[in-house]
Amino acid sequence: MSHYKIAPSILAADYANFETELKRLEETGVEYVHIDVMDGHFVPNISFGADVVAAMRPHSKLVFDCHLMVSNPENHIETFARAGADIMTIHAEATVHIHGALQKIKAAGMKAGVVINPGTPLASIEHVLNLADQVLLMTVNPGFGGQAYIPEMADKIAALAKMRQEKGLDFDIEVDGGIDDKTIRSAKDAGANVFVAGSYLFKSDLQTGVNALRAVLND
């Protein structure tokens, strides 16, 4: 099995029909569903929370990849574990206790992810990389779907992959924001292996979009 994973973001799905959307996603053969939680504080927008994750859980076997764009995410770890999150990814900028928070996510039985914004240096997460199952590099400024991929992030992805090798670690590198059948190549070549895509997949035929991304990954 390929180590590449596609993570469609339901931020771009039909919010009145999550059950149908999850079934549709599952049929396309993707590995993850990416769930963007926004609190209107860490980012300007508000999306959905743990209760929505819990409501979706019985309807899907996909890996629930929860991206928390919320302040003080350490306050929500137990809630997301109970809701059925498989991966909980939190922003290093959103807590002064990133190390402890990642430990708590693992202790709660989830995979731990750490994420940084485009302007945040890799040095800010260097000393917690050993705790991370996944490192997410934002390729847009978080808060909204449909923004343009920031091409300069390719160097950051490559630097993170190098850091991983030097430290002998094996976390996944995920990218999020502006991923389509063109930009995915830049992120892949730089060393990413988990690809979030929202508007690109949901704005036209889902299966056609997934196939186009997969074609680049298999190339």
Residues that bind ligand DX5 (CB under 6 A): 9, 11-12, 34, 36, 67, 140, 142-147, 176-179, 196-200
Residues touching Zn ion: how many (CB under 5 A)? 3
Shortest Cβ 69–ligand DX5 spacing (Å): 6
Residue (of 185, 137, 130) closest to 157 by Cα position: 137
Give the up-direction half-sphere exposure of residue 87: CA atoms within 13 A in the CB hemisphere: 26
Question: By three-state DSSP, how is residue 145 classified?
Answer: coil
By the rule CB under 5 A, 176 interacts with Zn ion: yes
Binding site partner of 147, from Zn ion, ligand DX5, none, Cβ cut-off 5-8 A by kind: ligand DX5
- In the beta sheet, which residues pair with residue 172? 134
Residues annotated catalytic, as ranges: 36, 176
Give the interface segment with Zn ion, choosing from 17-25, 64-72, 105-113, 165-173 (CB under 5 A).
64-72
Q: Which of 5, 67, 111, 188 binds Zn ion (CB under 5 A)?
A: 67
Phi-psi region of 43 (alpha: psi -120 to 50; beta: other; left: phi over 0): beta
Shortest Cβ 168–Zn ion spacing (Å): 28
Tokens of 153: 């992030």
Shortest Cβ 78–ligand DX5 spacing (Å): 23
Tokens of 33: 């569903």
What phi and psi, each to the nearest 5 degrees, are found at residue 137? -105, 120
> Where does this chain bind Zn ion (CB under 5 A)?
36, 67, 176
